[in-house]
Amino acid sequence: MSSHHFVREAQEPALLLVGPGVSYATLAQLLEWVPTVLVCPPALEWALALGIKMDGVVAPPTLLAEWGPRLAHQQPLLQLPAAQNPEATALRHLWQTGHQAVNVVGPWSPPLWPPQWNAWATEGPLVLYAPGWRGIWAVGQYAKWVAAGTLFWCAGDQPQAGLQPAPGGQWLAPQPGWVRWHLAQPKWLWQSLPGPS
């Protein structure tokens, strides 16, 4: 019996790089199933330095022209012009081309993600990756089995079970087990990533 997996186009979450923000190990996990990768200007240098094969670049037309020679080895490469707000253009393109979810890597710590991501999270499933953190847009009941030492952060909400207060408004899982939250309003629930960020 073969151990190979066949993944249909757009079945796995796409990857949108909006800025450097995670360790190479975390990025490698996100790239494991060879997702569609779109890159916005703040992440271009980082993506090129890591040798990431891009499927598309979303940027102002002048920047696309300027970067053309540096991106020649990435062909075929979709170039999506976006004079303003390349993140919104990228998300719209991914959802319109059938992607069911999008993993987003950015440079902001959990409470500092720009507020427009809240609105975009209502349009389609997003998972945000930041230095040392993974954020999901959650509402209602949330339960997950976690390892000891896992940290959580959620603005204005407290967990129902499995966590104890930690510095900086965070919550710590002192032992492995289930953690539970009830979120009355939709918001980002952040979980620490294992290993170095």
pLDDT of residue 51: 93
For the domain that residue 49 is a member of, what is the CATH number? 3.40.50
CB atoms within 10 A of CB 74: 19
Identity of the amino acid at 66: E
Asked whether residue 142 is assigned to any structural domain, the reply reads: no
pLDDT of residue 7: 44
pLDDT of residue 9: 55
pLDDT of residue 197: 53
**Enclosing domain of residue 123:** 14-131
Asked whether residue 75 is assigned to any structural domain, the reply reads: yes
pLDDT of residue 176: 97
pLDDT of residue 83: 86
Q: How far apart are CA 99 and CA 124, in angstroms?
A: 9
| pTM recorded for the entire structure | 0.90
Asked whether residue 148 is assigned to any structural domain, the reply reads: no
Given a cut of 70, the residues of the chain with pLDDT beneath it are 1-11, 196-197
Asked whether residue 98 is assigned to any structural domain, the reply reads: yes
Number of domains into which the chain is organized: 1
Beta carbons of 130 and 114 less than 8 angstroms apart: no
pLDDT of residue 156: 83
| Nearest alpha-carbon partner for 106 in 95, 96, 120, 93 | 120
